[in-house]
Amino acid sequence: MEGRIHSFQSLGTVDGPGVRAVVFMQGCPLRCVCCHNPDTWDMNGGTLMSARAVADKILRLRSYFGNDGGVTVSGGEPLMQADFVSELFGMCREQGIHCALDTSGCVLNSRVERLLNLCDLVLLDYKYTNDADYKKNCGCFKESVDLFLQKLQAMNKRVWLRQVIIPTLTDNTESLEKLYALKDKFSCIEKIELLPFRKLCAEKYEAMGIEFPLADTPEADTVKVAELQGLMEKE
């Protein structure tokens, strides 16, 4: 089976536990205002590669993974190519490689459920805590992501919840309290990661000739985001 691949990162350290090979899939149905990779949106872009060829690239890096690392498939939105990722994860698991999926959770069907069965860890990007912000700033319904999280709970999957902290959008107490309340409701959530909003992607938007929706929004202060996370974890 062939899939559309945007890019690879050989030795990632922020996409799950340990040192990881990161595969960025091409294609995404969402249009998030904070998206760092607008060049992954096009469903027909990227490079066609077989699952075997991608697995071979990952296997060549396995000596760097140690006991905790492995492969993370991100995007774009990997759920749009669920069958391909399932085949890839099947090959990796046969070799004892830990498989993590980085997803928005915007799609749930039988193909996605099959993929989830092959995941050792799911990094779920829980972008906002109310439906209005989801619809305005992503183009999907919060209900879809909640159903995805409920499925992960039912399947007893390990989950890391992640949210980008965007000044004036997600950096308020009400939003953070709702986010951390999910950890009490869903036992599958092992931890919550707060990620500071950055604008390194602005050049990509300019090169593509499209407007960056958050061009005038200040970047999040890394120290303050770390302090917020520490504060929320103590409560």
Which phi and psi angles does 44 have, rounded to 5°?
Answer: -105, 10
pLDDT per residue as tens, the chain (235 positions): 999 999 999 999 999 999 999 999 999 999 999 999 999 999 999 999 999 999 999 999 999 999 999 999 999 999 999 999 999 999 999 999 999 999 999 999 999 999 999 999 999 999 999 999 999 999 999 999 999 999 999 999 999 999 999 999 999 999 999 999 999 999 999 999 999 999 999 999 999 999 999 999 999 999 999 998 988 887 7
- What pLDDT is attached to residue 178? 96
β strands within the chain, DSSP E: 2-12, 20-25, 47-50, 70-74, 98-103, 121-125, 159-165, 189-196
- What pLDDT is attached to residue 12? 93
C-alpha distances (whole Å) from 109 to each of 83, 85, 112, 152, 215 are 11, 14, 5, 13, 35
Burial class (CB in 10 A: 0-12, 13-18, 19+), 45: middle
- What pLDDT is attached to residue 126? 98
* pTM recorded for the entire structure: 0.95
Number of residues that this document lists for the chain: 235
- What pLDDT is attached to residue 32? 96
Tell me the per-residue pLDDT of 128-163, one tens digit each, with 9 for 90 and over: 999 999 999 999 999 999 999 999 999 999 999 999
Spatial CB neighbours of 84, under 8 Å, sequence gap ≥ 6? 1, 2, 3, 25, 51
Quick check: 218 and 167 in contact, CB under 8 A?
A: yes
- What pLDDT is attached to residue 76? 95
- What pLDDT is attached to residue 105? 98
- What pLDDT is attached to residue 79? 98
Which phi and psi angles does 67 have, rounded to 5°?
Answer: -85, -20
For 54-71, b/e burial (b = at least 16 CB within 10 A) is bbeebeebbeebeeebbb
- What pLDDT is attached to residue 231? 86
- What pLDDT is attached to residue 233? 87
